[in-house]
Amino acid sequence: MTTFFKSLCIALPLTLIGCGSDSSDSPHPIEGRWQTGCEIDDEDNSSFQTVTEIKDGRIKSVSTSFSDIACMSATIESASTITLQITGETTLADGEKAYRAVTQLASLTMKLLTQAQADFYNEYSVCGKEDWQVGVAQDVTICPDSEIETSTGKSIFRVVDNRLYGASDDEDAPLSEDGYPIELDLDNYLTRI
């Protein structure tokens, strides 16, 4: 079940970074297409890659998990849609500025790409489902096996040199008085494509 949670957690932290349309006609600096590199998980010699499109108050991401460290042997594809609204700017703990956003998960699907994954998910009734099939997306937006929430959340993001950074997911990261993160995760980012 570790792969299931990693797939959920891969797509969401990088996508829960918020945006939304403001009143001007020009696109917001974070709108466009973004992707991670081939990210390696040393614990189980696997990898993942995420492609994200930010447009019209929505973040749409597709994250692919691979059974190797070269992003070659795809096993799971998860797709998420998140609604978002920019709520202004904030000053970060390091004194730099970032955008504040309110986000909410609208949908999350998972598609298994190998028979071994489908057999495993069916054997353990992942998300209470026993009808997993190769190549067929399943809605896992509400899944009793995960800690993914569909509630509204507060986040921050910043674009620096065509890199999009989101809020730190450290439980001890500082928050502003009104509950927004004030620290970025500088180790994880999306690159504009």
CA distance 189 to 107: 22
Q: What is the pLDDT of residues 118-142, one digit of tens each?
A: 999 999 999 999 999 999 999 999 8
pLDDT at 121: 97
Report the predicted TM-score, pTM, of the whole model to 2 decimal places. 0.82
Top pLDDT among 61 and 30 is at 61
Q: Domain total for the chain?
A: 1
Measure the CA dihedral 71/76/80/86, to 10°: -30
C-beta separation of 158 from 86 below 8 A:
no
State the average pLDDT for the chain.
Answer: 87
pLDDT at 25: 64
CA distance 18 to 21: 11
pLDDT at 24: 55
Residue 13 has pLDDT above 60, yes or no: no
pLDDT at 103: 94
Question: Which residues span the domain enclosing 158?
Answer: 2-192
Residue 15 has pLDDT above 60, yes or no: no
C-beta separation of 62 from 77 below 8 A:
yes
Q: What is the pLDDT of residues 60-111, one digit of tens each?
A: 999 999 999 999 999 999 999 999 999 999 888 889 999 999 999 999 999 9
Residue 184 has pLDDT above 90, yes or no: yes
